[in-house]
Structure 1
C-alpha cells in the first residue's frame, strides 16, 4: 500500500478541531503519528493571523511568514472558523481585501496537501510565504536565470525569479526541499514567481484561482526526493547511449561561436582526434543555416555539407546540428509557416503570429500544439538527415514563450510535453534538451545553461547541474567544458579543471579545443601550452574508465530514479558538514568527487564516515574527518572510492590500471 493512501490505517489524531466551526481565536492542530516508513509530524494552524507551522519530533521544521497567504490586493488575516471535511481541515479566514480566504489541509503519513483560495476572485496571483530560518537550508528549484548567481544553498544568497515558468529556458521545477527534510511541490501548470531573500521564501503562482501544493515531511532529504519522484515520475529509460556516457560530445559553439565554416569545423575535429580527446559526435552549432529557421545550410560557409558529414563519419564519429523552434522574420520559412498557420498566435488574436525577440533576432515560434506544424518541422529535420547524412540534433530555445497565446486549452506546461514528445523521436546526441516542470520520465540528458569561461562559471555550472540532478533529472552535464558565454576563452587552468570535474559526472559536453581556439572578442587565435591537450586527454580517459560503473548507475536511475550525481548528504543524511559544500559530490554510491574548481594546487577535502581508497596515492583513508591541504597539482583530480559500497572493487580496478 502506498504511504499516501495509508493515512486511514495510521491512527491519525486530530486535536483542537471539531465537526462544527470552532471559535475564531482557537488554535487548530493535528498530529500524524510515526509509521513504519514515515517519521510523523505535528501541524498547527495559527488562527490569530492565518498561517501554519509544522514540527517533527518536537522540532519546528516549517513555518509560514507573518503574511502567510497573499493575493492580488489582499492578505489573509484572522481565522473565523475551523472545521473538518473527512480528514481535511478547513480554515475560513478574513482578509485585508474584505474577501474570505479558505485554507484546506489534508494530512497523509509522510506529507500533507495544502491549498487555499479566495472567494469571489477570478484567477490571478496567489502567494504563500515561508520563514527560511525555521526550516534550515533551502535547495531545489533548478537553475537560476542566466546572468544571476546560483546560491548554494539557495537560502545562502538571494534568488529573484519573476519568470519562473514551464516555458522558461532555464531548467526550473516547482519543487524545493530543506536541510530539515521538508519538501514543497507547488502544483501549477502556469508561470510562477520565486524569491528567497531577507529570511523568507515567496512562492507565487499566476493565472490561478487556487494555490495547490504538497508538503513532504520526512526523516531525510533523500526520502523527500523519493516522495517527489513518486509524484512526477522517474526516467522510463536513458535517452543517451553507452557511447554517449563514455566519451565527450563536441559542439562548435564555444570554439567558434557563429563564425563557422566547413574548413574550420573539419580542422577542429581533426585537431581533437590527434590530441586524443575526440568523442562520439561532432555537432555544428549556431549559424550553419542560411537564416535562422530556414533549416538549410549556408552555401557560402558549407559548400558541401554531405562531404563534411562523410569526413566526420570517417573519423568514427556521428555528425549533428543545432536547431531551434524559433523562425526569424527574415527566414524564407517564416512566410511559409505564417501563411500555413504553423506559428503560435499573439495574445488576443486567432490569426496574427506572436513575434518574440531572442539572442538571434526577432522570430515566430513553431506551434507544437498544431500537429500539421509539428509534422512540417520534423519533416524538414528528416530531410536534412536523408540529404546530408545528419545523425541527430541539439534542440535549443524554448518550446513556448509566455508572451504568446497557447493553442486551445493547452497550458505552458503542455508545450513542454509536446516538445519532449517531438524531440524524443530523434537522436539528441548527448546534448539533450532543456525540458522540465515534470518531464523526468523521458530520461533526457540535461545540460546546464551557458556559463562564464571563469572559475565562477565552473562553480556555477556545477551548482546548476547538481540542482537539476536533485530535481529528478539524473543524466546531467555541465555547460560546455570551459564555459560558453561569449567571453574570452578559458585559461589553461580553468579548461583543464573543468574537464576534470566533468569527467566525474555522468556525461562530458565539450567545445573549446585544448589545442587551439579563437578569442571571438578580439578575433585572435589562442594556442594553449602543449601539455594542455595531454591533461585534457587524461580527464577524458578517466571518464572512459568509469564507463562500466556509470552504466550500472544509469540502470539504477531507470529502476528507481536514484540521481547519479548527488549531494553527499543524500547518502550520509546525518553529516550536516555537507549542507553547504558545493565542490564535493557523490557519483553513484561508491565514488566521492572532490575536484579542484578554484585556482591553486591544494584543497581541503571532507570525507564522510567509512573507509575511502585514494586512487592517486593508493592509500586507504579513514572517513569522518577533513584532509587539510590535500595536494592537487594540475594533473590531479581528487577522488575517493568508498570501500564496501556497491561497485567499489570494480571502480578501484578501473581507476588504478
Structure 2
C-alpha cells in the first residue's frame, strides 16, 4: 500500500522516505488514524493518513509477520499484532549521535471522547482530556506530585494505549497539537543522554467499550494484586503523629495521642509514628532521648488496642555515621554519571540506597527487619521512591531503557515483602503487588489545585491505571 510520502510493505521489503517524520493519530467515534507528517526543516511538507482502525478489520496478521514503514535510512516504523485485539507500533532509529536533537513525536487527537488513566498529578482533572502538559518527562518525580507514572490511557470508545516501559518518554497534551496527546521520545534528561538508539513503542488495542478495554489491559499487560491487603486498614482510621505533632514527637506525645483517641471513642487500624524518631536519617536507630524504651512503648500501645507502624525513607544523610560510611564503602548508594551519590531531599542532604543492587537491598531489608523484631513494630509507611530524589543523572543496574524509572519499581518490590499493612507513595508497573498505594498529601482547601476535590479524581486515576488499594495521605 503506497502513498506519496511513504510505502507500507509486508515485511518482504521496505520502501524509503527521505524525511523527518512526526506522527499524529486522530481519534473519532469511527476509528483511529495515524497521521504521518513529512517535515522539511520546520515546515510541514505533506501529510498521509493510515487508518489503524481499518487495520484491525482488514489485515490478516496470521498470514504475515508485520507491516513495516521505512521513514529514513536508519528509521523504521513496524506494526504487528499482539494478543488478538492489539497492534504494537514501534518506531526505531539507529546510529543516533549522543547530544543531537533526534526525537520521535506521535500525536493522538482526543476527539470528542473521554480519556482515562495517565499519571498522578497535584492538579488531577477527570477525565484525562482536560489536562495540559508541555514536553513533560514521564517518570515518577516530586514535580506536580507525580508519584505514579504508568503510561496507560483508554477512552470511552474502547481504545487503549500502553507505552513500553523501556522508552524515554515525554508527553505533551493540548500544546503541540490542539485537543491532542503527544508521545515524544528523546535521549534527554532525566533519561540517559549517551544512548545511540532511540525507540518509541506502544500497544494500541481496540475492544467494544471502555470496560472491556480496561479489563483486557489488566488481564494481558497491567496485572492485578497477587494477594489480599489488610482489611482493618480499610475499615478503620490510620492515626499518624505527623498530622498533629509534625517532628515534635516522643514517647509521651505518642501515649497522650493514643489515650485521647480512645477517650473520644474512636477506633483504629493502627498508630503510625512518623518523622524524627531516628538518631539521624538512615540510622534505623531510635533516638533514646525521645524514645528511651521503644519495645516498652509498643507493648503499651498494643495493650490499648493499637498496632504500631513506623515511617521509613530510603535515604542516608551525610554524617549519619557509621551507616553513611558503611553504605559508601560497600557501594550501596545510587551514583550519578559523575560518580557522586549526593542529592537534597526534604530532610537534608544525603544519598539514596540503590535498590537496583541485590546486595544493597539485602542489607537494607535485614536492618529494617531487625528494627521491627527488636522493637515490636508491626509494619511500615514507606515514603519517597520517585526518581527525582536520585542524584542526576543516575546510573542504575537495570535493563536497557529502564533508567531511571526502574528505581521506583525496584524500591516498591523490595518493601512489599513487609506484609499486608505496607503502604507506599510511588508506583511503576507494580499493580501485581498486594500493598496500599498512598496519594501524596492534599491541601486543606477545595478545588482541583491539590485540594479536597482531588481526593476523588486521584482515586479514580489510580484505580484506572490498575492500583486498586488506595489510601489518602494527611490532609
Q: Is structure 2 residue 387 aligned with structure 1 residue 396?
A: no
Q: Tell me, what secondary structure is at the counterpart of 2:312?
A: strand
Q: Tell me, what secondary structure is at the counterpart of 1:102?
A: strand
Matched with 1:105 is: 79
Q: Is structure 2 residue 130 aligned with structure 1 residue 150?
A: no
Matched with 2:54 is: none
Matched with 1:440 is: 431
Partners of 1:478 and 1:257 lie apart in 2 by: 17
Q: Is structure 2 residue 280 aligned with structure 1 residue 288?
A: no
Partners of 1:203 and 1:244 lie apart in 2 by: 38
Matched with 1:361 is: 348
Partners of 1:78 and 1:222 lie apart in 2 by: 37
The 1:64–1:274 alpha-carbon spacing in structure 2 relative to 1, beyond 3 Å, is farther
Partners of 1:451 and 1:356 lie apart in 2 by: 25
Instruction: Single out whichever of 82-91 and 276-285 deviates more from structure 2.
Output: 82-91
Partners of 2:168 and 2:259 lie apart in 1 by: 45
Matched with 2:395 is: 405
CA deviation profile, 1:370-426 (whole Å, cap 9, x unmatched): 333222212221222222211111111117535321136573344334323321221
Matched with 2:32 is: 62
Residue 115 (structure 1) aligned to one of 73, 87, 90? 90
Matched with 1:129 is: 106
What's the CA shift for 1:354? 1.6
Matched with 2:360 is: 373
Matched with 1:188 is: 165
Partners of 2:442 and 2:336 lie apart in 1 by: 32
Partners of 1:383 and 1:69 lie apart in 2 by: 61
Q: How does 1:197-596 map to 2 (within 5 A)?
A: 197-198=174-175, 199-207=179-187, 209-229=198-218, 230-238=220-228, 240-332=229-321, 333-349=323-339, 353-398=340-385, 400=387, 401=390, 403-407=393-397, 409=399, 411=402, 412-427=404-419, 429=421, 432-456=423-447, 457-480=451-474, 483=475
Q: Tell me, what secondary structure is at the counterpart of 1:134?
A: coil
Instruction: Tell me if the contact between 1:53 and 1:60 (Cα under 8 Å) persists in the aligned partners.
Output: no
Q: Tell me, what secondary structure is at the counterpart of 1:120?
A: coil
Matched with 1:91 is: 69
Greater gyration radius:
1
Instruction: Tell me if the contact between 1:326 and 1:397 (Cα under 8 Å) persists in the aligned partners.
Output: no
CA deviation profile, 1:11-58 (whole Å, cap 9, x unmatched): xxxxxx3xxxx353588799xxxxxxxxxxxxxxxx9976465778xx
What's the CA shift for 1:164? 2.0
Instruction: Tell me if the contact between 2:282 and 2:316 (Cα under 8 Å) persists in the aligned partners.
Output: yes
Matched with 1:637 is: none
CA deviation profile, 1:516-550 (whole Å, cap 9, x unmatched): xxxxxxxxxxxxxxxxxxxxxxxxxxxxxxxxxxx
The 1:28–1:121 alpha-carbon spacing in structure 2 relative to 1, beyond 3 Å, is same
The 1:191–1:118 alpha-carbon spacing in structure 2 relative to 1, beyond 3 Å, is closer
- TM-score using structure 1 length: 0.59
Q: Tell me, what secondary structure is at the counterpart of 1:266?
A: helix
Partners of 1:75 and 1:64 lie apart in 2 by: 19
Q: Tell me, what secondary structure is at the counterpart of 2:118?
A: strand
Unaligned runs of 5+ in 1: 1-16, 31-46, 484-657
Q: Tell me, what secondary structure is at the counterpart of 1:142?
A: coil
Partners of 1:413 and 1:224 lie apart in 2 by: 25
Matched with 2:55 is: none
What's the CA shift for 1:454? 1.8
Partners of 2:274 and 2:75 lie apart in 1 by: 51
Partners of 1:416 and 1:77 lie apart in 2 by: 42
CA deviation profile, 1:316-356 (whole Å, cap 9, x unmatched): 1211111111111131221221122211222143xxx4211
Partners of 1:68 and 1:292 lie apart in 2 by: 54
Instruction: Tell me if the contact between 1:128 and 1:203 (Cα under 8 Å) persists in the aligned partners.
Output: yes
Partners of 1:125 and 1:354 lie apart in 2 by: 30
Partners of 1:160 and 1:300 lie apart in 2 by: 49
- TM-score using structure 2 length: 0.80
Instruction: Tell me if the contact between 1:76 and 1:101 (Cα under 8 Å) persists in the aligned partners.
Output: no
Instruction: Tell me if the contact between 1:103 and 1:114 (Cα under 8 Å) persists in the aligned partners.
Output: yes
Matched with 1:515 is: none
Instruction: Tell me if the contact between 1:106 and 1:113 (Cα under 8 Å) persists in the aligned partners.
Output: yes
Cα root mean square deviation, aligned: 3.5
Partners of 1:322 and 1:55 lie apart in 2 by: 45
Partners of 2:88 and 2:43 lie apart in 1 by: 21
Instruction: Tell me if the contact between 2:342 and 2:349 (Cα under 8 Å) persists in the aligned partners.
Output: yes
Instruction: Tell me if the contact between 1:49 and 1:78 (Cα under 8 Å) persists in the aligned partners.
Output: no
The 1:131–1:324 alpha-carbon spacing in structure 2 relative to 1, beyond 3 Å, is same
Partners of 2:39 and 2:139 lie apart in 1 by: 21
What's the CA shift for 1:127? 3.7
What's the CA shift for 1:433? 1.4
